[in-house]
Amino acid sequence: MLNKDYLLDCKILHEIRGRIRIKSRALKYLGIHKEEITKQLMQVHYIQSVEISSITGTILVYFDNFSLTGENLISLLQNTLNTYLVDIYKNEKKQISNKYVIERRLQEESPQEIIKNIGAAVLLLLLPNPKIKLTGIRRLFNYKTLSTVSLALPVLKNGIYSLIQNKRPNADTLSSTAIVSSIILGSERTALTIMILEKFAELLTVYTMKKTRGVIKDMLSVGENYVWKQSDDGNTAKKVPIEEISKGDFILVQTGEKISVDGTIEKGEAIIDQSAITGEYMPVTKKAGEEVFAGTLLKSGNITVKAEKVGDDRTASRIIKLVEDAAFNKADIQSYADTFSAQLIPLNFLLAGIVYVSTKNLQKALSMLVIDYSCGIRLSTATAFSASINTAAKNGILIKGSNYLEELSKSDTVIFDKTGTITEGKPKIQTLKTFGKNMKDNRMLALAAAAEETSSHPLASAILNEIKNRGLKIPKHKESVIKVARGIETFVNKDIIRVGSLKYMEENDISLEVASDIVKGMQNRGEIVIYVAKNNDLIGVIGVSDPPRENIKKAMNRLRNQGIDDIVLLTGDLRQQAETIASRMSMDRYESELMPEDKAKDILKFRSIGSKVIMIGDGINDAPALSYANVGIALGSSRTDIAMEAADVTITSDDPLLIPGVIGLAKNTVKIIKQNFAMAIGINSFALVLGATGLLPAIYSSILHNSITILVVGNSLRLLKYDVNK
C-alpha cells in the first residue's frame, strides 16, 4: 500500500477474524453506484455483509473465509471500484469545485471603468476639504465623504456579501473596514489613498486578463459549417447550415468532404478516413447500411447519409465553451492563496483590537486594518496565471484555466496518442524493391503512379508525392479502374498495371514468392506493403509508413529533462505499428488497438496510483482520455474540434517542442507565485510591526502595503515576456 492518499488507495483501519474495516477516498464519491457496488461485493461467495459509509469513506466487510488476508480484500475492493472509476472521478471533481471564497470577479470589470474610478479618486484627493466644519453625524454628509463612499460601493457591497454568504471575511471586507474607519475618523485622504493604490493594482490585473481574452479570441476564429441536404422528393439538393439539419434528414457527401452528422449510409459506397475516430490512418470502405460518424473524411466515392445524431449530440460537436468558469478552473495554489489570505484577515481585526485596547489610539489600530496580506497575494497570483495564459496564446497555445498551468508544473507522466500526434498522419514511402532484370526503382514507381494518378487514397498520395519529389513523369495510361478495398489497375501501352494488396495479387494469379522475405522485413518495421504487377509478373513492392513528426524525439528528450519519469504510447492502431513507434521513440511502454473508453480507463488507472498525467492527442478517439488526464493537450493543425473542446490545452501548430515549452512556462509561473508569497508576507509582516508600534501612520501604512501589492503584481507581469521556445 502507498502512503499517499490517492484515489484508489486503501488503508486497513481495523481487522479481526472475519471482519475488516477499510478506508479509501474513492468511497466518498460513489454517488448513485453505492448500492450497485454493495450488491456486487455481496455476490462474492465468502462475503457475508457489506456496509459502505460515503461520509467517512470507509467500508465494513464481514466474511467467512479465514484464510484471506487484508491484501486480498483490498485487491477485491480496488478491482470492483475500478469499474466505476470514471464516475468516481467526476463526482470528486464536482465536489472539489465548490469550495472557494467569494471574491469580486475582476474579469467582469473593464480597464476603462477602473481608470475612471482612479481619476475620480485622484480628483477628490486634490480637492480641498469643505470650508464649513461640520460636527457629529452631519460631518459624514459633505460632498467629499459622500463621493468617497460612492466610489467605494463595489468594495463595500462585496465585503458585506462575503460575511453574509460565506460566513467569513474576504479581502474586500478588510478594505471596507479600513475605508469606513478612515472616514469615521475624518481622514478621507487615507480612504482615498487606499482606494487609488488598490485600484491601480487591480488595473494591472484586469488589463492582463482583458489582453489575454483578446489574444484567445483571435486564436479561435471558427467558420460556419454547411452541408448538402436532399429534398423530400430526392431529386434536388440544397446547401444549408449544419444547424438546420434535423434527425431523419438525408445528407449528400462527396469526395473530399467531411461527414457532418452521425448516421447510416442509405445509398452509395465510399472509402472513408476514420483516423479522427479510431486513430488508424488507413481508410475503410463503407457501404449502404453501415454507420458513419461526424468528423470523418470521405476520401473517394459519393454517399447519401441519413442523419441520426445532429447538433450537440454529434460525436464531433463544435467548440461551445473553451475558457470555462474561473472558479472551476482555479489552480490549487490560487485557491490556497485565496484561502490562506482569507484566514489571515481575522488576524488583522484581532491585531487592531489589541493595539486599540493597549494604546487607545484609533490611528494605530487603523494601521492594522490598512495592511493585509490578501490583496497582494490574491492579485499577484491572478495576474501571474493570466499573464502566462496570455504568453501561451501569443505562441499558439490555448490554456483553458489556471489550474492546468499548476497541473502541468507538477506532471510526471506523459501519454501520447500515435496517429497525428507522434506521427504526421500522412503516409510516406519508406522502402522500394524491384524484381526483374531491367526494372529500375523509378520505372516501377512511375508505373504505379500511372494507376494511382486519379485516386485520393492516402497510399496513392504517398506514391504521387514520391513521384513529385523525384521529378519523375507519369507515363500515359488509360482510365484507372478501382477494385474496392483491394487495389487499382490501368493500361500503359498494351500492358496492364495492377497496384494493390496481397489479396488482389492472389486473385489475379500473380506469384509473390520472390518478395516473401523482403515483405516480412517491411512488416516487421511496421510498414504497409503495396504490390505492383505488370501483366502477370510482380515488378516491385512499396513499403509505406506514417513517419514521426519532426522534433518529436527532441521534445521527448526535453520532457525527460523537465522531470517526466514515464512516457507512454496509447493508440487504437495495430500492435506492430505501435511497437515500432514506441521502440524508435525510446518510450517506456505502449498499448495498442484501444477503443476511446479503454484509453480513458488507462488514464484513470495512472491517476489512481498518484501519477500526474498529461495526455496528448488530436482526434475524437482521444477526447475521453484528454478529459480524464490531469491535463489534456490537443496538438497540431489537424486536430478535431471535439479534441480541442475536450482538451485543457490546445497547441494550434504542429511543433511538438511547444509541449516542453508550455511545461517550462508553467513551472516558471509557479516559481514566480512563490516569490510573490514570500515578498507579500515578509514585507507586510514588517509593516504590521511598524504600524503596531506607532512608527508608521495609517496613511503611510496604506502606501507601503499597496506599493508591495503593485510590486508583486509587477513581478507577475514579467511572465508576459517569457520565451516559450527557449
- For the annotated catalytic residues, the residue numbers are 417
List the grid coordinates of 473.
513523369
Is residue 7 within 8 Å of 89, Cβ to Cβ?
A: yes
458: region left, alpha or beta (phi > 0 left; psi from -120 to 50 alpha): alpha
**DSSP notation for 255-287:** TTPBP-SEEEEEEEEEEEE-HHHHS--S-EEE-
Residues in the chain: 726
CA angle (129 as vertex; 148, 157 as ends), nearest 5? 10
Lookup: cell for 640 = 478535431
Residue that has been written with the C-alpha cell 521529378 in this structure: 471
Residues sharing a CB contact under 8 Å with residue 505, sequence separation 6 or more, in sequence order: 498, 512, 531, 533, 538
Residue of 495, 522, 489, 519 lying closest to 507 (CA atoms): 489
Angle CA 19–24–27, to nearest 5:
95
The side-by-side arrangement of strands in the sheet containing 58-63 is: 11-16, 19-23, 58-63, 47-53
Output the nine-digit C-alpha cell for 353. 483590537
Q: What is the Cα–Cα distance from 655 to 185, expressed in whole angstroms? A: 61
Cell output for 310: 445532429
Q: In 266-299, which positions are buried (b, 16+ CB within 10 angstroms) versus exposed (e)?
A: eebbbbbbbbbbbbbbbbbebeeeeebbbbbbbb
3-state secondary structure 305-329: EEEEECHHHCCCCCCCCCCCCCCCC
Strands (E), 408-549: 413-416, 428-434, 481-483, 487-492, 495-500, 528-534, 537-545
What is the SS3 assignment for 48?
strand
CA torsion angle 306 309 312 313 (round to 10): -170
The answer to whether 163 touches 173, Cβ cutoff 8 Å, is yes
Cell numbers of 129, please? 476639504
Whole-number Å distance between alpha carbons of 157 and 172: 9
State how far the Cα of 508 lies from the Cα of 481, in Å rounded to an integer.
15
Q: Which three cell numbers stand for residue 127?
A: 480637492
- Of the candidates 541, 429, 444, 435, the one whose C-alpha atom is nearest the C-alpha of residue 495 is 444
Q: How many alpha carbons fall within 13 Å on the CB side of residue 618?
A: 24
